[in-house]
Amino acid sequence: MPRPGFTLLFFMGAMLAALGMTVIGHGAPDLPERDPSSMVSKEVPKRDLQFETLPKELFPGEAVLIRVGSPREIARVSASLGKQKILFFPAEDKKVWMGLAGIDLDIPPGEQTLTYRAEFPDGIESSGTMILKIQKKEFPVERITVDEKYVHLSGKDLKRYKEEQKLQDAIFSIQNPDRIFDQGFAVPLDVQSGSRFGLRRIINGEPRNPHSGADLKAASGTEVHASNAGRVVFAGDLFFSGHTVILDHGFGLYTLYAHLNDMTVGKGSSVSREEVIGHVGATGRVTGPHLHWGVKLNGARVDPFSLVSLPLSSGAAARGITSPETLAPTDRGTDSPILQGPGSD
């Protein structure tokens, strides 16, 4: 007679065997399918950005304000327009960022591609491109007569000019990442009259490069004021421009003041907005006392009045006039502080 313990063990073993056969017969138990999206990182969402350019219609020889906005705070904005790197600074609690771009005087009409990237505090980024359309602009022609030595340069003068050109190119090639200006730009003196930016000049009967600044007529000795806060990067005498001061305002933005009778600042000094930096004169290639006022923005030659018109801050105002339309042709210089070739303007 079998022992009870043996019978119980045999019975349990048989049951386990039967269960094992059942499991093997039905295969592995069904498991819920894994969501594939949980196996890969999800795409980071992009946040909407709003863009605005001032002015809205763009022409050669203009400074352009690019505004980038978002309902949320933006940590950083960067952009480029062709080879031009555009630096941005925050405003309005960092929900709006502003950058300055220059459209050179000689740029042909057509489309230019702006590439941008915005970063948010939580790590989300938004990037892309947008098209800026440059309109065609016709500039008037001006005929003037000057001393022949300023048209057909001697070997000595040509050598001097080329050395001065290299010096200016080196200055304007630097894009200072520190923004020195903190408000809108001002006209450097109370203007009576002058000649406009971009004139196609014929000097002594020969076509020359366009006039790359604004000539503001004033009596000799009239105070010349800095258009904005900046640092003096050049104060000296140039062949075409005479006594000249160049200010670096940061962000690749420079202003130039030429044909001065004298200079009251020196290289390396810091100046405040509307501080006196010199007095109107008739040095260099000129036909009468006046101030040649020029602007270079990221290497582009732009109309100084287009810079004054931009709302870089509240309360910015020009001295005397705010538009070149109030200027009438009169005695002016034939200067070339931002030059492209010998004897050019």
* pLDDT given for residue 211 in this prediction: 67
Tell me the DSSP string of 143-204.
Answer: EE---GGGTS--HHHHHHHHHHHHHHHHHHT---SS----S----SS--SEEE-TT-EEEET
* pLDDT given for residue 193 in this prediction: 56
CA-nearest of 71, 72, 40, 338 to 212 is 338
* pLDDT given for residue 138 in this prediction: 77
Residue that is written with structure tokens 């001393």 in the block: 147
Instruction: Please state, in angstroms and rounded to a whole number, the distance separating the CA atoms of residues 2 and 256.
Output: 117
Cβ neighbours for 244, distance < 8 A, ≥ 6 positions apart: 234, 235, 236, 237, 238, 256, 257, 258, 259, 260, 284, 337
Beta-carbon count within 10 A of 96 CB: 17
Tell me the DSSP string of 66-91.
Answer: EEEE-SS--SEEEEEETTEEE-EEEE
* pLDDT given for residue 255 in this prediction: 98
* pLDDT given for residue 325 in this prediction: 33
pLDDT 10s per residue in the chain (345 long)?
Answer: 444 544 433 344 444 344 444 333 344 444 445 443 333 333 344 567 899 999 999 999 999 999 999 999 999 999 999 899 999 999 878 899 999 999 998 889 999 999 999 999 999 999 999 999 999 887 766 666 666 666 667 889 889 989 999 999 999 999 999 999 989 999 999 875 566 776 656 566 555 666 678 889 899 999 999 999 999 999 999 998 999 999 999 999 999 999 999 999 999 999 999 999 999 999 988 878 999 999 999 999 999 999 999 988 732 322 332 333 332 222 333 333 332 233 333
* pLDDT given for residue 310 in this prediction: 94
* pLDDT given for residue 131 in this prediction: 92
* pLDDT given for residue 63 in this prediction: 95
Dihedral angle of Cα 252, 259, 160, 298, to the nearest 10 degrees = 10
* pLDDT given for residue 143 in this prediction: 63
* pLDDT given for residue 182 in this prediction: 86
Cβ neighbours for 123, distance < 8 A, ≥ 6 positions apart: 44
Residue that is written with structure tokens 């941005």 in the block: 88
Domain annotation for the chain: domains and CATH numbers: 50-134 (2.60.40.1220), 141-309 (2.70.70.10)
Cβ neighbours for 202, distance < 8 A, ≥ 6 positions apart: 141, 142, 143, 144, 208
* pLDDT given for residue 153 in this prediction: 75
Phi, psi of 70 (to 5 degrees): -155, 150
The single-letter code of the amino acid at 292 is: H
